[in-house]
Structure 1
């Protein structure tokens, strides 16, 4: 049984849905042309994934194997509908921008995959934490894509944040590159593929460096018996 630390590391880095499993690429690439879009869909995915994992873990012993997957899909669809209605009520303009990608959370492979692979085999707390970490890992990749694409495409950050946080965020926009002419490719669909590829390459490069350092780390070759004698002598 994985510890909470292992669950967090897997969700955020080692088994990240967007960089390692490459799941949910349709919303990941389709809504990440700005920070506000990425953050809005990322938060919605975290809520659905966390709550669906907890709900699946709660009824896992009562669900017959023959109809287990349809039950999981119904739970995910109900939670997605709740999130959709909340966004329709409180963030209507952002809801219109994200469009079909909000109801498509129901068919996101990450959510159904975690429900089947983890939530159906663990308790409520552990399953909910797994959903939170997997959702956070997916949302962080979304936010990184949105940040880089918005910066490269417009030369600014935090644009239109009022769509998510209301009038208080109307002045949050930061112009990083004044008089920037813009790089249109970055905010177009091909730019999403290019930036995601760079992020995956960066993660693989970091993993390679960590693995190389682990291999070259000096190991104490002293026999275990000698080490025991030495420790005993120090204690005495």
Structure 2
């Protein structure tokens, strides 16, 4: 039991940080740049992708003994495409405003390399529960990356956080809406595509510095100086 908990803990650490889809693997750059103009958009896209990741991992793990290596990739694509279609229809039915904002990028979840990659690298080789945890961890890491980028761009670009959350995600999310800087003129470039590249580069640099600080060995007690 203890070993399983440690294994799940490692999966979450990998998904959220060490193998983060955006900040470590640099995958899914298209939706990352396109939908992160606000924290709300990033959160919505991340949660939709997480739902597909979790369920696709579970289904692929469940049928792995019945799928030959020769046809596994087409099978993965069919499973993922079916789930994305269901998510697309669900958003259109229950979160129509978010559906209109995300638009084509919901359907493009099908070609998200992270989802197909986890199916191939993990779900096809592991059990259903472990695959579900892996999908959840990777999905939450992706959501964290998109939401963080969206919040930074939104804050600098318009001085708000989670703008229109109640409209796009539902009235229950109205508590997220914050006007941080009243009467703020905004920096238009941060909302435009160049802002996405600037914010991504800055966050990658911050992650690299944190990783280097964590990996740096502690200074021995007797030593007078540390490098």
Find the structure with the greater CA-based Rg.
Answer: 1
Q: How does 1:220-231 map to 2 (within 5 A)?
A: none
Question: Which of 190, 202, 208 pairs up with 1:204?
Answer: 208
State the partner residue of 2:150.
146
Q: How does 1:27-66 map to 2 (within 5 A)?
A: 27-66=31-70
Query: What are the superposed Cα offsets for residues 24-67 of structure 1, whole Å, 9 maximum, x if unpaired?
Result: 01001100001111111000000000100011100011001111
State the partner residue of 2:20.
16
Query: What are the superposed Cα offsets for residues 165-223 of structure 1, whole Å, 9 maximum, x if unpaired?
Result: 324545753211112110001110110011011111000000111111x353569xxxx
Is the 8 Å Cα contact of residues 154 and 180 (structure 1) preserved in structure 2? yes
State the partner residue of 1:195.
199
Relative to 1, partners in 2 of residues 1:215 and 1:125: Cα closer, same or farther, differing over 3 Å? same
1:157 paired with 2:174, answer no
Q: Distance in 2 between matches of 1:57 and 1:8?
A: 18
Relative to 1, partners in 2 of residues 1:169 and 1:111: Cα closer, same or farther, differing over 3 Å? closer
Question: Which of 69, 76, 79 pairs up with 1:72?
Answer: 76
State the partner residue of 2:225.
none
Between the two proteins, the alignment pairs up a number of residues equal to 218
1:173 paired with 2:210, answer no
Is the 8 Å Cα contact of residues 36 and 163 (structure 1) preserved in structure 2? no
CA-based RMSD of the aligned residues comes to: 1.7
Unmatched segments (≥5 aa) in structure 1:
220-236
